[in-house]
Chain A
């Protein structure tokens, strides 16, 4: 940090680079498959439309017992996504919709799905989610 004087003010970490925290948050949010599925499910839905859970979080790659998924959603995935502002959710009825910052994960997912041809096979082979999105196009 002794070199801070040589940096321009716009690069001063002490000013709190909000974008860096947002990127960290985004990668954290996308680091679990049920969370990726929820974001992917909401891509096709307009602001304000509510999707039923746990269906919107179910992965074709990893079928899970409904009750187990429900507990993981309520106690981990949904509070995390909601805190980041990506979604809003309710327990009864059990539904999810876009949150005020949905455009952050939306933008990354769209860049990814638009670039599937550029991804190495190790990241897409046998992934049923990507295959569905390719087939949708």
Chain B
């Protein structure tokens, strides 16, 4: 996971659910603090999950950086893979 990898992953997960271009989706910044989300995902140790609303979806991120959109686990495929 790169410094802001989780931001890209969340945006891509919701864009995939909507069939949108990730760049044109509503700014994540308007829904959750992306720096805070990134900092949380960089923390070692502890178990947590964070649920927030983004662009009409319920997004959950956990300590393994696993992402669920409206309860469905997001699995990036090769074409929208993130590092």
Interface residues of A (CB under 8 A from B): 28, 31-32, 65, 67-68, 70-72, 74-76, 79-80, 91
* The 5 A-B residue pairs with the shortest CB-CB distance in the complex, in nearest-first order: A76-B34, A79-B29, A75-B28, A71-B8, A79-B27
| Interface pair A71/B35, CB less than 8 Å apart | no
Interface residues of chain B, those whose CB is within 8 Å of chain A, are 2-4, 7-8, 11-12, 22-25, 27-30, 34-35, 82-83
Residues from chain B with Cβ under 8 Å of A28 in the complex = 35
Chain A nearest CB, measured from B69 CB (Å): 15
Main secondary structure of the interface of B (DSSP, over half): helix
Q: Hey, which chain A residues are within 8 Å of B24, CB to CB?
A: 91
The minimal Cβ–Cβ distance linking A34 to chain B, given in whole angstroms, is 9
A72 to B23, CA, bound (A): 9
Known: A68-B83, A71-B7, A75-B29; 8 extra A-B contacts, CB below 8 A, are A65-B83, A70-B23, A71-B23, A72-B8, A75-B28, A76-B34, A79-B30, A80-B29
